[in-house]
Amino acid sequence: MDKFRMMAQILQSNQESFMNGICGVMALASAQLYTSFEFNCPCIPEYNYSYGISMLVIPPIWFFLLGFVLNNNVSMLAEEWKRPVGQRRKDPAVMRYMCVSISQRSLIAPAVWVSVTLMDGKSFLCAYSMDLDMSEFGKNVSGHGLSQEDLLRTLAKIPCKHIYDGQHILSREAATRYICCISQAFGWLFLLIITIAAFLIRAIRPCFTQAAFLKTKYWSHYVDTERKVFDETCTEHAKGFAKICIKQYFEGISGEIQSFHDHLHGDDSDDEDDKPATEEDKLMGVRRLDTMNKVLWDWHTCKPPLTLRKPGDASTGQNGDCKIQLYYFSNVCYLNP
């Protein structure tokens, strides 16, 4: 269990590298999935185009949505967007930065799928085999006595090697090579476009707006770090609360202490010498169910302002709409009912 906990802490401390690794794994998975995928074109004029284009479009959309699902920052972005303003205003630039960062990572696997699909050319061949210009091959359709419908049915069978019966009209190998060359040209053009776009986003944009870029990057990291610290603090508080609650339960059953009943009536004095100090520190003065619920509700509806006070300087009044006092120690917000 300790090994898994240590691994989880390492992943949380290196979340950016971890997410980059996830994106790389998804990109490799998309390429491997395509190579193991058996592409079967229906070779019917009514379905060729739909099937070929769907294999080029639908899997990238699925990979894009999967990238959002696997990214932990999506819930953080939604929480920051929907939270009440309270004493801390929302910065649209920070939310845009988070959204762009998530989208960039989620686009890696779809880009790999589209590139591999275009380079392979099977879906492009299935979709556009009926749009071949016979004059490019020096063929005259009228010389074969075929109607337009019969010609389309013949061209639709080009992707299917075993059922193609129009070799006397058009060489299947020549048509396949011609369409695959066009598909690969589009593939290289697609790679060039996304490479230039990535270069412009990663290199040129920070040069023109360096100060704004650093500000949005810093506060984006702050929102992520604050959420992690709050979750860790709540986890430690829950552990300490559970240990002391269970300890007091067994002590009350055995009749070893009598101050447990005074505590139920609001007496928060610590008369128990054998209670571990570390567990009491984890409670941070929050020792009741309704108080803890109030703390969590106020954290959501009225987050404290980003103005840290020195240790020992406590607020003497209410903070806006918050009904609890706030204390700041070591850049962590502690709440005392």
Distance in angstroms (rounded) separating the CA atoms of residues 179 and 177? 6
User: Distance between CA 194 and CA 111 in Å, rounded?
Assistant: 8
Residue 278, pLDDT score: 62
The domain locations on the chain are 21-208
- What's the confidence (pLDDT) of residue 50? 92
* pLDDT on residue 185: 95
For residue 270, give the nearest of 244, 237, 242, 233 by alpha carbon.
Answer: 244
For each of the chain's 337 residues, which pLDDT tens digit applies? 454 455 445 444 455 555 666 666 777 777 777 777 778 889 998 899 999 999 999 999 998 998 888 887 888 788 878 777 777 777 888 888 888 888 888 888 888 899 989 999 999 999 998 888 777 776 665 555 677 888 888 889 999 888 888 888 888 888 899 999 999 999 999 999 999 988 887 777 767 677 777 888 888 888 888 888 888 888 888 888 888 888 877 777 766 545 545 554 554 444 444 444 466 666 777 778 888 888 888 887 777 777 777 765 554 444 444 544 443 333 334 333 3
Task: Classify 265 as helix, strand or coil.
Answer: coil
pLDDT at position 22, please?
Answer: 66
Q: Tokens 């070893």: give the residue.
A: 256
C-alpha pair distances (Å), 145 with each of 96, 137, 151, 182, 311 = 61, 18, 10, 29, 94
The secondary structure element, H or E, covering residue 310 is: none
| 3 state DSSP class of 327 | strand
Q: At what angle do helices 73-82 and 92-106 cross, to 10 degrees?
A: 150
DSSP state of 317: S
Q: Cα dist. 23→4, 20, 30, 111 in Å?
A: 22, 5, 10, 11
**Other residues' Cβ atoms within 10 Å of the Cβ of residue 76:** 18
* Element at 179 (helix H, strand E): helix 172-199
